[in-house]
């Protein structure tokens, strides 16, 4: 994408505005006729990005500059190494990952956390590749070295989330390598938009390994479901700006997320009352035992089909441009209150893959969002991945909208759905072996029209959309009004399914 094209494209975005879901495995058998990148993934082959050194004072132990506030990486690395023989995870590869982060020149370490140090373990939720629990970590995370006591100063006990990884007794080197790169290059210690990972522990019953993370109360999907009607456009934009900022920092570190959706983004309320987002699961885009078989041109890729861009169905790997497509789906969800393709049942997701490759996108009513917002969303889900904006451009554009105050209440009336309806949003292996080359020919006539043809029909904006939507269920505005007129807890989500 040239500079000239970018300038022309985004100039129009500053016009004044008018007054079912989890990750499931995606099995990709790479099409040898399609040129493939020479690297496995941006997140697996990127060189370290230099960290700007600020003045954090001098280390009391070695009298050299601290690498961060109250933390000397050189001395801390030495203290960690002296303790290496006092612990083990029981897995050599996990031990190597932990030791690698602890001897890094950055404050990006994780540690082995004995399960006995975790109390009040409670089940939260289950996904395709993991089960999540809450717990109290009695010791709390390491802060810095106490020279007087010759031990680590730790924070107070803290509530944490435990992510139990299925089949992690056979955890793969590929999974750990991707996680290690993410920890070293884009850690929470450097970026507040990244979910903190404190370390690893092991379930004493299943023997599965567990990632110990900071506990955050609610993900974006649940937050939108519970609060959509009360959110102003200003709040929606601030949430999206926070997500875009997190993506920009991830991409600036040479990484890509590869499986971003509203289930792994968490909402936090700042001290000043503003809403911000924390991106989770960075470096954990699939099952713990996933592997890459490059010799046979086969890569197992995983994701939520409803959020996945067409290039992945083509057999390509995830890149930072794929993350921008994910962001478009988040824009859709934040602006409409609904996850993408909510009217497509689980047993028709394979058909949806073909339709997405043909240009089909979630339908909406243009009157329910500012015009500039709609244009940016459509640009982010462009079928040509290289025509999508960069994360840095998203930060600038949405930041300008916030300062220009395009805020207005969304006039879309939306019902609150029971959370069970989101069970179709699963990460899965997407098998593209049945999709021939002819299935990937992009039909230029399937691009969206600029005009909404019917105000009565919320979703259908073009003839192409009408044709595709006939296979699914169309939610009429009149149906929504009838449901609202009869708010007596009799709403049946099964009406959304064929």
Do residue 277 and residue 358 come from a single domain?
A: yes
Does residue 110 lie in a domain region? yes
pLDDT at position 211 is 97
147 and 78 in a common domain: yes
Q: How many CB atoms lie within 10 A of CB 452?
A: 17
Write down the mean pLDDT value for the chain.
76
Is residue 152 within 8 A of residue 143, CB to CB? The reply is yes
Examine residue 63 and state whether it is found in any structural domain, yes or no: no
- Looking at per-residue confidence, does 450 or 250 come out higher? 250
Burial class of residue 228, CB neighbours in 10 A (0-12, 13-18, 19+) = buried
Q: What is the pLDDT of residues 25-64, one digit of tens each?
A: 554 433 333 433 333 333 333 344 444 445 788 888 889 8
Reported confidence tier of residue 357, pLDDT bands at 50, 70, 90:
very high
Of the ranges 61-75, 129-143, 277-291, the best mean pLDDT one: 129-143
Question: What is the number of domains present in the chain?
Answer: 2
Domain membership of residue 50 (yes or no) is no
Q: pLDDT tens digit string along 298-336? A: 556 788 999 999 999 988 889 999 999 999 999 999 999
- pLDDT of 258 strictly over 80: yes
Instruction: Place 283 in a pLDDT band, splitting at 50, 70 and 90.
Output: confident
Higher pLDDT, 435 or 329: 329
Distance of alpha carbon 280 from alpha carbon 263, whole angstroms: 9
User: Do residues 255 and 169 share a domain?
Assistant: no
Same domain as 247, residue 146: no
Give the tokens for residue 458: 């919320």
Are 158 and 135 in the same domain?
yes
Pairwise CA distance, residues 99 & 351, whole Å = 46
414 part of a folded domain:
yes
Range of the domain at 241: 3-43+218-496
Q: Look at residue 446 in the predicted model and tell me its pLDDT.
A: 33
326 vs 411, higher pLDDT:
326
Q: Which of 152, 180, 214 is the last residue of a domain?
A: 214
Show the tokens assigned to 440.
């990937």
- Token pair, residue 324, equals 């921008």
CATH of the domain at 133: 3.30.200.20
Name residue 142's beta-bridge partners. 154
The answer to whether residue 175 sits within a structural domain is yes
Q: What is the pLDDT of residue 56?
A: 81
pLDDT on residue 172: 93
- Give 222's contacts (C-beta < 8 A, 6+ positions apart): 419
Identify whether 356 is part of a domain: yes
Percentage of the residues of the chain whose pLDDT score is greater than 70: 67
For 91-122, the pLDDT digits (tens) are: 999 999 999 999 986 777 999 999 999 999 99
Dist CA 219 CA 240 (whole Å): 14
- Judge if 226 and 278 occupy the same domain: yes
461 in the same domain as 350 = yes
Write down the pLDDT at residue 451.
Answer: 31
pLDDT of amino acid 188? 58
Residue 208 is predicted with a pLDDT of 97
For residue 343, give the CATH number of its domain.
1.10.510.10
Tell me the pLDDT band of 184, cut-offs 50, 70 and 90.
confident
Kindly state whether residue 48 falls inside one of the protein's structural domains.
Answer: no
> Is the confidence at residue 373, as pLDDT, over 70?
yes
Last residue of a domain, which of 214, 236, 253? 214
pLDDT of residue 204: 95
Separation of alpha carbons 79 and 64, rounded Å? 16
Instruction: Measure the CA–CA gap between 334 and 393, rounded to whole angstroms.
Output: 19
Band the pLDDT of 214: cuts 50, 70, 90: very high
- Average pLDDT of 17-26? 48
Domain boundary, last residue among 187, 214, 241: 214
User: Angle at CA 329, nearest 5°, toward 328 and 330?
Assistant: 90
162 with 183, same domain: the answer is yes
Q: Is the pLDDT of residue 261 over 70?
A: yes
Is the domain of 269 the same as that of 362?
yes
On the question of pLDDT at 170 being above 80, the answer is yes
Q: Is the pLDDT of residue 86 over 90?
A: yes
Sign of torsion, CA 219 221 222 225?
positive
The string of pLDDT tens digits covering residues 129-165 is 899 999 999 999 998 888 889 899 999 999 999 999 9
172 and 270 within one domain: no
Same domain, 331 and 383: yes
Residue 192 pLDDT: 85
Q: Are 415 and 264 in contact (CB under 8 A)?
A: no
- Mean pLDDT on 454-479: 47
245 in the same domain as 148 = no
Does any domain span residue 114? yes
* Residue 21 pLDDT: 56
109/101 Cα distance (integer angstroms): 4
pLDDT band at 292 (very low <50, low <70, confident <90, very high): low
For the stretch 375-385, pLDDT in tens is 999 999 999 99
Taking a C-beta distance cutoff of 8 angstroms, is the pair 294, 28 a contact?
A: no
């Amino acid at each position: 994408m040239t500079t000239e094209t970018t300038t022309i494209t985004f100039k129009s975005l500053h016009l004044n505005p008018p007054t079912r879901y989890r990750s499931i495995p995606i099995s990709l058998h790479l099409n040898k006729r399609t040129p493939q990148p020479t690297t496995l993934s941006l997140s697996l082959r990127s060189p370290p990005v230099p960290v700007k050194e600020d003045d954090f004072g001098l280390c009391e132990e070695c009298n050299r500059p601290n690498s961060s506030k109250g933390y000397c990486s050189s001395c801390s690395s030495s203290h960690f190494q002296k303790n290496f023989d006092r612990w083990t995870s029981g897995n050599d590869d996990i031990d190597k990952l932990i030791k690698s982060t602890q001897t890094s020149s950055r404050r990006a370490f994780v540690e082995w956390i004995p399960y006995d140090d975790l109390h009040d373990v409670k089940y939260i939720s289950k996904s395709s590749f993991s089960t999540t629990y809450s717990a109290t970590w009695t010791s709390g995370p390491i802060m810095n070295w106490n020279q007087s006591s010759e031990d680590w100063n730790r924070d107070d006990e803290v509530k944490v989330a435990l992510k139990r990884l299925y089949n992690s007794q056979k955890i793969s080197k590929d999974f750990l390598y991707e996680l290690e790169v993410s920890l070293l290059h884009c850690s929470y210690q450097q970026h507040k938009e990244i979910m903190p990972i404190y370390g690893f522990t092991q379930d004493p019953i299943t023997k599965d390994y567990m990632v110990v993370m900071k506990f955050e109360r609610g993900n974006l999907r649940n937050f939108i479901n519970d609060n959509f009607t009360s959110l102003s456009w200003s709040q929606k934009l601030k949430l999206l700006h926070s997500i875009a900022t997190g993506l920009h920092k991830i991409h600036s570190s040479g990484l890509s997320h590869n499986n971003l959706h509203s289930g792994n983004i968490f909402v936090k309320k700042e001290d000043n009352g503003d809403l911000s987002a924390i991106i989770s699961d960075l470096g954990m885009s699939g099952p713990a035992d996933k592997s890459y078989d490059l010799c046979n041109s086969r890569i197992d890729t995983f994701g939520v089909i409803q959020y996945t861009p067409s290039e992945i169905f083509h057999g390509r790997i995830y890149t930072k441009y794929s993350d921008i497509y994910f962001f478009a789906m988040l824009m859709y969800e934040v602006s409409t209150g609904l996850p993408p393709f909510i009217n497509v049942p689980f047993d028709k997701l394979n058909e949806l893959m073909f339709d997405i490759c043909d240009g089909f996108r979630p339908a909406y009513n243009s009157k329910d969002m500012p015009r500039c917002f709609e244009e940016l969303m459509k640009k982010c889900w462009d079928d040509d991945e290289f025509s999508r904006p960069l994360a840095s451009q998203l930060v600038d554009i949405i930041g300008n909208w916030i300062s220009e105050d395009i805020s207005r209440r969304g006039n879309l009336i939306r019902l609150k759905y029971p959370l069970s309806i989101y069970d179709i949003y699963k990460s899965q292996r997407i098998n593209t072996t049945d999709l021939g080359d002819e299935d990937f020919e992009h039909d230029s006539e399937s691009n969206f029209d600029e005009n909404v043809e019917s105000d009565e029909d919320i979703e259908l904006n073009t003839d192409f959309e009408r044709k595709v939507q006939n296979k699914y269920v169309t939610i009429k505005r009149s149906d929504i009004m009838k449901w609202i007129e009869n708010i007596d807890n009799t709403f049946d989500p099964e009406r959304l399914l064929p």
